[in-house]
Amino acid sequence: MASRRDVERLIEAGRVALNGQVLTTPAVKVGPGDILTVDGKRVSAAEPTRLWRYHKPTGLVTTHKDPHDRPTVFQHLPKGLPRVISIGRLDLNSEGLLLLTNDGDLARALELPSSGWVRRYRARARGRTDQARLDTLKDGITIEGVRYGPIDARIDKMKENPDGVSSANVWITVALTEGKNREVRRVLEAIGLTVNRLIRLSYGPFQMGVLGQGQVEEVGPRVIREQLADFIAPENMPKGDHTPALAQPSAQARRMPGQGSGGALIEGKTKPVYKAGWAKPKIKVSPHKFAKKPTKKPGPAVISRDKPSAERPASRRPDAARARPERSGPPKSRKGR
């Protein structure tokens, strides 16, 4: 129901009791049969572990409370989610996949380098480099007394300037297992690159996929049992299975500066913005407008009786007798026919 620091403050204020005894220190173990209360209300047992994938946009701080009153990730989550914590962090100017969970033990276990989970990023940086120089990061690097472990960095795309001398933009895919504070930015800066955009693509087996900025999707219980069995206590393991639900950004989300080309963080769909001089969309025309009108079938000819009979064809005169050829010789008997 609160962070560790907030719980310490609750205990210090005498608001937490265990089996009717008010606690004066947090150094107390709570057993399965114990009754824990806060302000006289019983604290329920831990719920089964749940996990969400969240596409964090830039401009949000990954914290519950920010001393500088900046917008936070947890203020802009869709309504209906329980109290969650993040697995790792993304800084203010970084975007991409952020895992959320209701299990604090799981979050701490997956943040440790000993878990061996690979964090994969895509970075756009300004400067000049080559693959040989990036390969030196596989042995690790020490920057200002801080040791960073092995990093796999590969060039995806490089834009060469016409003069061949000045700096150029380069896209690099970076994979690491430690995830120290601002690690990707500091390591690339140490080899002469300035990161101007950083996107986390995956965290362990979980991918960002096609999640839009600000969207949240819950991971199903079956996937949790398959991928996280080594990190979750058996009593907290979720049971059953259900289809993950996709949640849109909350109504609190607003356009924020520095979000890059990912679009604004707003609820629902956004209208496309066209550059000046672009052709306008074609006007849709109803398919019935140019449809052929059905033609009437010609009926029998009607001949006016007011016209002279000479003008009418002989074959169509009602009173005209059809001429028959005259027979010559005796009539034939019926037996001969």
Q: Do 112 and 241 have their domain in common?
A: yes
Would you say 126 and 158 are in contact if contact means Cβ atoms under 8 Å apart? no
Question: What is the structure's pLDDT at 116?
Answer: 87
Question: What is the structure's pLDDT at 169?
Answer: 87
Q: Do 33 and 103 have their domain in common?
A: no
For 317, the token pair is 């005169």
Q: Which residue has the tokens 């490089």?
A: 158
Question: What is the structure's pLDDT at 288?
Answer: 59
Question: What is the structure's pLDDT at 40?
Answer: 92
Pairing of strands 16-18, 21-22: antiparallel
d(CA 158, CA 179): 25
1 by DSSP, 3-state: which? coil
Question: What is the structure's pLDDT at 52?
Answer: 97
In a domain, 164, yes or no: yes
Nearest to 124 by CA among 193, 171, 182: 171
Residue 173's domain is classified under what CATH number?
Answer: 3.30.2350.10
d(CA 165, CA 307): 99
What element of type H or E holds 86?
Answer: strand 85-87
Q: Do 207 and 108 have their domain in common?
A: yes
In a domain, 146, yes or no: yes
Question: What is the structure's pLDDT at 168?
Answer: 77
Q: Do 13 and 130 have their domain in common?
A: no
Question: What is the structure's pLDDT at 320?
Answer: 47
Question: What is the structure's pLDDT at 296?
Answer: 60
Question: What is the structure's pLDDT at 289?
Answer: 55
Split into its structural domains, the chain has a count of 2
Nearest to 203 by CA among 173, 231, 171, 177: 177
Measure the CA angle with vertex 120, ends 227 and 75; round to 5°: 80
For 309, the token pair is 């009979």
Q: Do 25 and 70 have their domain in common?
A: no
> What's the N-to-C CA distance of the chain in angstroms?
115
Nearest to 71 by CA among 216, 208, 258, 269: 258
Question: What is the structure's pLDDT at 246?
Answer: 67
Residue 19's domain is classified under what CATH number?
Answer: 3.10.290.10
Q: Where are the beta strands (DSSP E) in 244-306?
A: 246-247
Q: Do 105 and 191 have their domain in common?
A: yes
Q: Do 91 and 227 have their domain in common?
A: yes
Model pLDDT for residues 58-108, shown as the tens digit of each residue: 999 999 888 899 999 999 998 888 889 999 999 999 999 999 999 999 999
208: which residues sit within 8 A by CB, 6+ positions away?
A: 53, 55, 96, 97, 200, 201, 202
Buried b / exposed e along 143-168 (16+ C-beta atoms within 10 A):
eeeeebbebebeeeeeeeeeeeeeee
CB neighbours of residue 20 within 10 Å = 7
In a domain, 250, yes or no: yes
Residues with a catalytic annotation lie at 91
Q: Do 34 and 68 have their domain in common?
A: no
Q: Do 73 and 209 have their domain in common?
A: yes
Question: What is the structure's pLDDT at 258?
Answer: 37
Write out the chain's pLDDT in tens, 337 residues: 787 888 999 999 999 999 999 999 999 999 888 999 999 999 987 789 999 999 999 999 999 888 899 999 999 998 888 889 999 999 999 999 999 999 999 999 999 888 889 999 999 999 988 999 999 999 999 999 999 999 999 999 887 666 655 567 899 999 999 888 899 999 999 999 999 999 999 999 999 999 999 999 999 999 999 999 999 999 899 988 766 666 666 554 434 433 433 333 333 334 455 555 555 555 655 555 555 666 666 666 555 555 554 455 555 555 544 555 555 555 555 555 5
Would you say 158 and 210 are in contact if contact means Cβ atoms under 8 Å apart? no
Q: Which domain holds residue 28?
A: 4-42
In a domain, 95, yes or no: yes
Q: Do 56 and 205 have their domain in common?
A: yes
Question: What is the structure's pLDDT at 229?
Answer: 94
The separation between CA 110 and the C-alpha centre of its own chain, rounded to angstroms, equals 22
In a domain, 301, yes or no: no
Would you say 76 and 250 are in contact if contact means Cβ atoms under 8 Å apart? yes
Would you say 170 and 159 are in contact if contact means Cβ atoms under 8 Å apart? yes
Nearest to 259 by CA among 55, 69, 96, 57: 57
Q: Do 71 and 188 have their domain in common?
A: yes
For 56, the token pair is 């964090």
Q: Do 30 and 165 have their domain in common?
A: no
